[in-house]
Structure formats: C-alpha cells, structure tokens
Amino acid sequence: MKKLILFSVLLFAASCLAQIKSFESEYVEMLKKDIQAESRNIVANNLTLTDEQAKIFWPLYDEYDAAYDKLVNERIDIIKDYMMHYYGMDEETGKNLVTKSIDLKEKAVDLQKEYINKMLEVLPISVVGKFFQIDNRIAAIIDITRMANLPLVREEEK
C-alpha cells in the first residue's frame, strides 16, 4: 500500500512538472520509463509467484507492458491535441477527441482481455486475477492523477 501511495505522489509530481515542461519528448519518455519501472515493482512486490510461475509470468508481463505502452503513446497524443486546441476547440475537433478517447478505452479493455486469456492458458486464476486487480489499481491511480491535472473543456464565451 505504501508503494501505491508513493507511486501516486510520483505521478502527481510528474504531471505537475509535465505542465511546466509542456510535452517535451525526452521528458515524456523519461517519465514513462519511471512509471513502467515503478509499476513493475508494485506488481513484483504484491504478486507471489513460484519460480516456475515467474518464468512464465514475467515474459507475458513484458509483452503486455510493451503493448500497453503503445496505448500510452496514443493517450499522450490525444492529450497533446486537446491542449493544443484548448483555447480554440471547435465542434469537429472536440468530437474527434472524444471519439479517440473512447476508442482508446476500448483498446485497453481489449488488450486486457487478450492477456487475461493468454495468461489463463498457462497460469492459475489466482495469479492472473490478482495481477489484473493490481494492474487496474495502477491504471486508476494514473487516470485520477491525469484527470486531476487536465483542465475541463472550456465553456463557450458568450
């Protein structure tokens, strides 16, 4: 639990700095690597695996993490687009961003389903279920931190 609190603080600080530094690619990549490493540590510290299970689980985790990283890149692109249009959001751009965001959520659920099925073929449900509980908690912390630091859509000025 302490790790999740520390992780949350790290994300909050990082998102505040991200607003200051804008979306510099190097900074974003560094931040992503830090979050990935901390996520891996949280999983490792909270998921009890036998040696045999670990040999199976960690390569699947790495695959899942790499696939999820592509979704993170899409999320970053959506946020960049949102912030670039924040003061001049027209209807078409707004609808496009909403559609992209919903599509991205669907992709994330599809990815989880894919890896749940892959893992269930070779690991017990107790391991797979607990991993996805941990993964969902990490994702929730990231989402809350991101949402807390992004401004709501501006209302039209009258």
Which pLDDT value is given to residue 29? Answer: 75
39, part of any domain: yes
Which pLDDT value is given to residue 154? Answer: 83
Sort 5 into a burial class: Cβ within 10 Å, 0-12 / 13-18 / 19+.
Answer: exposed
111, part of any domain: yes
156, part of any domain: no
Q: Is the pLDDT of residue 128 over 70?
A: yes
**Total number of domains in the chain:** 1
Residue 123 DSSP label: S
Which pLDDT value is given to residue 148? Answer: 87
> Residue with structure tokens 């749940």?
116
DSSP string for 37-74: HHHHHHHHHH----HHHHHHHHHHHHHHHHHHHHHHHH
Range 100-118 average pLDDT: 97
Which pLDDT value is given to residue 26? Answer: 73
**Alpha-carbon torsion angle 84, 89, 92, 93, nearest 10:** 20
158, part of any domain: no
When pLDDT is cut at 50, 70 and 90, the band that residue 27 belongs to is low
Range 12-17 average pLDDT: 50
93, part of any domain: yes
Q: Is the pLDDT of residue 9 over 50?
A: no
Which pLDDT value is given to residue 14? Answer: 53
22, part of any domain: yes
Residue-wise pLDDT for 46-93, tens only, equals 999 999 999 999 999 999 999 999 999 999 899 989 999 989 899 999
pTM: 0.79
Tell me the percentage of the chain whose pLDDT exceeds 90: 59
Of 30, 36, 26, which Cα lies nearest the Cα of 62? 36
Range 98-110 average pLDDT: 97
121, part of any domain: yes
Which pLDDT value is given to residue 42? Answer: 94
**Structural domain of 70:** 2-149
When pLDDT is cut at 50, 70 and 90, the band that residue 30 belongs to is confident
Q: Is the pLDDT of residue 4 over 60?
A: no
**Interatomic CA distance for residues 56 and 59, integer angstroms:** 6
Range 130-136 average pLDDT: 96
